[in-house]
Structure 1
Amino acid sequence: MLAGVVCAVPALTGCSVSVETEPEAVITEEVLEKGIADALEKSVGQRPDSVECPGSIKAAAGESVRCELSAGADRYGLTATVSSYDKDNGNADYDIEVDDEPAG
């Protein structure tokens, strides 16, 4: 979408073009953590006590983030990758890889 074009004395100052783009969609930290917990519950049949991620990520397939889950007294690192994102309803699917050993 073209927001505005300004040409003032073209021979001396040139032409300036301003283009507006849609803001980039993000998955907020809260939504990300809930989505990961939901996906883990669905795939392994048990919901972690908590999932903590460092912040928001871009809402796009292939984006990944390192998070940590708590299950009882154990904490495990995990990598969550957005496998798909539906911008119409804001839903994301994740591929999740949990570390083999608990975090030190």
Structure 2
Amino acid sequence: MHRSIRLGLPVLCGLVLTACSVSVSAGNEISKADLEKNISTVLEQSNNGRRPDSVTCPGPIKAENGQTARCFLTGGGEKYGLTVTLSGVNGSKATYDVKVDEKPMQ
């Protein structure tokens, strides 16, 4: 069973969420801005309409199955790590999984 931690927005820690229909650019990558925006949207949808204060990723991610990126979210004054893993790429659309860390960063 997964537990929720309240940060001003409840974050589903340890839960893997799936996002769909991310745009893949002509350079076969998902831009940093698109990745951050889509992660925020997925978290908002899974948290009763509450959006994280911010989501930050280090840069674009190659549009290839299995590629990962380590990103961070902030909410209610706390910072959590999260891992994004591409699970499917089909033409100009990609699907990925988001896993939020169990505990906030120190």
TM over 0.5: yes
Q: 1:3 aligns to what? A: none
- Structure scoring higher RCO (CA < 8 A, sep ≥ 6) equals 2
In the alignment, which of 97, 100, 103 is matched to residue 102 of structure 2?
Answer: 100
In the alignment, which of 29, 41, 49 is matched to residue 53 of structure 2?
Answer: 49
Residue 64 and residue 42 in structure 1: after superposition, are their counterparts in 2 closer, same or farther (change >3 A)? same
Q: 1:84 aligns to what? A: 88
Shift of 1:91: 3.3
Q: Distance in 2 between matches of 1:61 and 1:39?
A: 19
Q: Give the TM-score of the pair, scaled to structure 2.
A: 0.66
Residue pairs, 1:1-104, within 5 angstroms? 24-45=27-48, 46-87=50-91, 90-104=92-106
Q: Give the TM-score of the pair, scaled to structure 1.
A: 0.67
Deviation per residue, 1:53-87 (Å, 9 max, x gap):
11111012211110000112011000011122332
Larger radius of gyration: 1
What runs of 5+ residues in structure 1 fail to find an aligned partner?
1-22
On the 8 A contact 1:39/1:94 being kept in 2, the answer is no
Shift of 1:98: 0.6
Q: Find the residue that maps to 2:74 and give its secondary structure.
A: strand
Shift of 1:36: 1.1
Count of paired positions: 80
Shift of 1:39: 1.7
Q: 1:15 aligns to what? A: none
RMSD: 1.7
> For residue 103 of structure 1, what is the amino acid of its counterpart?
M
Shift of 1:24: 4.7
